[in-house]
Amino acid sequence: MEGGAAASTPAALPYYVAFSQLLGLTLVAMTGAWLGLYRGGIAWESDLQFNAHPLCMVIGLVFLQGDALLVYRVFRNEAKRTTKVLHGLLHIFALVIALVGLVAVFDYHRKKGYADLYSLHSWCGILVFVLCFVQWLVGFSFFLFPGAPFSLRSRYRPQHIFFGATIFLLSVGTALLGLKEALLFNLGDKYSAFEPEGVLANVLGLLLACFGGAVLYILTRADWKRPSQAEEQALSMDFKTLTEGDSPGSQ
Amino acid sequence: MEGGAAASTPAALPYYVAFSQLLGLTLVAMTGAWLGLYRGGIAWESDLQFNAHPLCMVIGLVFLQGDALLVYRVFRNEAKRTTKVLHGLLHIFALVIALVGLVAVFDYHRKKGYADLYSLHSWCGILVFVLCFVQWLVGFSFFLFPGAPFSLRSRYRPQHIFFGATIFLLSVGTALLGLKEALLFNLGDKYSAFEPEGVLANVLGLLLACFGGAVLYILTRADWKRPSQAEEQALSMDFKTLTEGDSPGSQ
């Protein structure tokens, strides 16, 4: 635990990551099963266009976004730049898939003549999408685009991590609100009769919350944080001497 | 920042705590305003009994539970035992108020002949209540009841903190689901016409999410953590020598 380049992976970490992935994949499969079994499946040019929305959001803003946060725990011994690029790419994939999901619901509303953006789910959803986009842009400018001073990076890093985790949790909460909305719209009074669709969707909701919890646990375990590597420490020192001579400890 | 008994309060912390309290109180006031203005107010022996449920849950499981988590950041220079007792007491108050809220909704359902525990909101709610209760019992046995070995306490502490924060976030998520359920049941199609009640409740939902975010931010800022005090360090050392000689660093 003395740091350095040869730091090994904590023994329990792979099991927790595997569990989180099992949860995440079950989540995606179950969303597909719900839409296929009870909502008629997915098609872009019909009333089934709406169904692209929940599937895209669960894949993009929940599963892929969650996995993007775990990248620094999983690839702990790779070069930091490679891991950063993977983190940024996963977030781009998540955003693009979420954008398809957004287009699906707005297009469906337009064709049906339904109102847009009146519900708490839609307000939270738009907030999540905008925050994700802003977080990506700011993260890119600070950490991938060259030129941000070392002191600024080390000052912004904790904020980036906090807001990343918070936006992810808000995504999970928004998905829960959307699921609930779909259930109440589609099942109505049948929901209280313990219809199979209602029970399946409730289990899906619990799985969503569990996936959020699992990602948060892996992310916050202090002894599972990525160790800073010798090569980076050396680079940081070089960078520091090139910039105004400040240190990350000074924040 | 060298630790020790005379550690001062970080300059920005009081402002963030004040902001969180302002959010929390606005949340409670707004829940009351929503129920008073649009839902007919609160009374135990009538149809208005249901309305005791959201108010109790927002006060107990959101506001008080959130504040119980902040106790260690706010009372950072008091004796640890006093702070622990306050933390435990706030959680008891939260649980008792939540129990009143639970009784209100089950009693209302019984009188009306409605089904219980079919919705995702109710599943999450029961889960939150049971987890809160178990977390309190385990926390009490480890940290307040004398006798738990020092090594066990320091091993359990990070788990207690993680699950405390997670249960709080799940409470916020459950409140959002409940709010959404109430809106769809009561407003129906009027929700999409941007009725004042719908807009007020959406803002209430966003405030709930913001309060959750604010508490999480204060809780996770590394430089705002409670410093371990000289008296506790001495006590811990005494305790360590009395027990099997293990150290918190060995976990």
| Residue B26 structure tokens | 């606005």
Residue-wise pLDDT tens digits, B122-159: 999 999 999 999 999 999 999 998 889 999 999 999 99
B214 and chain A: CB distance < 8 Å anywhere?
A: no
**Chains A, B: CB pairs < 8 Å:** 107
Query: Which of the following CATH numbers is that of domain B14-224: 1.10.760.10, 1.20.120.1770, 1.20.58.220, 1.10.3470.10?
Result: 1.20.120.1770
The domain at A13-224 falls in which architecture? Up-down Bundle (1.20)
Using 50, 70 and 90 to split pLDDT, how confident is the model at B181? very high
User: pLDDT digit string (tens) for B33-76?
Assistant: 999 999 999 999 999 999 999 999 999 999 999 999 999 999 99
Please list every residue in chain B whose beta carbon sits closer than 8 Å to the beta carbon of residue A176.
Answer: 120, 124, 173, 176-177
Q: Which residues does chain A have within 8 Å of residue B206's beta carbon, measured at their own beta carbons? A: 120, 123-124, 127
Instruction: Give the residue extent of every domain in chain A.
Output: 13-224
Residue A166 contacts residue B213 (beta carbons within 8 Å): yes
Using pLDDT thresholds of 50, 70 and 90, give the confidence band for residue B6. very low
At B102, list the tokens.
């639970």
Q: How far is A173 from chain B (nearest CA, A)?
A: 6
What is the residue whose two structure tokens read 């080390």?
A: A154
State chain B's mean pLDDT as an integer. Answer: 90
Residue among A123, A179, A185 minimizing CB distance to B206: A123
- B194 vs A170: CB contact, 8 Å cut-off? no
Tell me, yes or no, if B192 comes closer than 8 A to chain A by beta carbon: yes
Half-sphere CA count of B69, side-chain side, radius 13 A: 31
CA atoms within 13 A on the CB side of A99: 9
Q: Is B232's pLDDT higher than 70?
A: no
ipTM of the complex: 0.91
Q: Which residue of A has its CA nearest to B218?
A: A162
Helices (H), chain A: 13-38, 52-57, 65-74, 80-112, 120-139, 150-187, 196-220, 230-242
